[in-house]
A = this chain, B = another copy of it.
Amino acid sequence: MPDAFWQPPSILLAVDLVILTLRSSKLHVLLVERGIEPYKGEHALPGGFLNNVDEGILAAAQRELREEANLDASQLHLEQLGAYGDPGRDPRGRIVSVAYLAIAPGLPEPEAGADAAGASWKPVEEIDSGRLELAFDHRWILADGIERARTKLERSSLATAFCNEPFTIAELQQVYEAVWGVELDPRNFYRKVQGVPGFIIPVGAERRTTKGRPARLFRRGQQTVLHPPLSRPNPLTTSEAN
């Protein structure tokens, strides 16, 4: 029990970014190679400390997005994941990190030529298969970010944040398949996506150059909450797993 002379402890606050995108139909995350100790040379989520005591947490996340990933926060989906503050998560001392989830469309440049050298997109599969290790507790932050994206695809229009406008329905389907890690029937996907009012809007001009029949082009609709939802295929229940 704190007495009259007790003072609350001071803590260092950082932000970390889980930036997801789709590259060649696979879910990727932006990682940086750490230039300083601890974990020097290892891969980590981009992030950093608050600049000063007056900087907002979201503002810090937006700044890091620009500095470390060369991305413009105003064009991206950005939401808070939560605070990660286990004592001992950072060997330098008590550091609490607020993690943010950012969703970016496929970028033209392979990676950002930003301040932080060594930023690169990595397939998330390499991390949760254990082939690629992350510094600190970033593996768990990433897992939480992916899980957040997975569930939000069902009832929100988050999937369109992975796409450059205009996009085709097949591109949108690739988003769902990559994030959920499943295959979807294109025919049913077409019907369902088109049936959600305000999800995607056909842009007058159609077609695009590939092989085969040209696809209609769409842009994001105004609706952010999807009804009916695009439900994820049944996860196995514990009783069904055998």
Contact = CB atoms under 8 A, between A and B. Distances in A.
Interface of A: 2, 8-14, 49-57, 80-83, 85-87, 93-94, 96, 98, 197-198, 222-223, 225, 227, 234-235, 237-239
Nearest to A231: B229
Given A11-B10, A50-B11, A57 B198 contact: no
Contacts of A238: 198, 222-223
The secondary structure that dominates the A interface is loop
A85 to B, nearest CB: 4
A82 B15 CA distance: 13
Given A82-B82, A223-B238, A237-B198, A96 B9 contact: no
A96 to B, nearest CB: 6
Given A80-B82, A83-B98, A52 B225 contact: no
Contacts of A52: 9
Given A9-B52, A197-B239, 20 more contacts: A8-B14, A8-B49, A8-B50, A9-B12, A9-B13, A11-B11, A53-B87, A54-B94, A56-B85, A56-B86, A56-B87, A57-B85, A80-B83, A83-B83, A83-B98, A96-B98, A222-B238, A223-B237, A225-B235, A227-B237
A9 B52 CA distance: 5
A117 to B, nearest CB: 15
A10 B10 contact: yes
Contacts of A96: 13, 57, 96, 98
Contacts of A86: 56-57
A242 to B, nearest CB: 14
A87 B239 contact: no
A98 B11 CA distance: 13
B223 A227 contact: no
A150 to B, nearest CB: 12
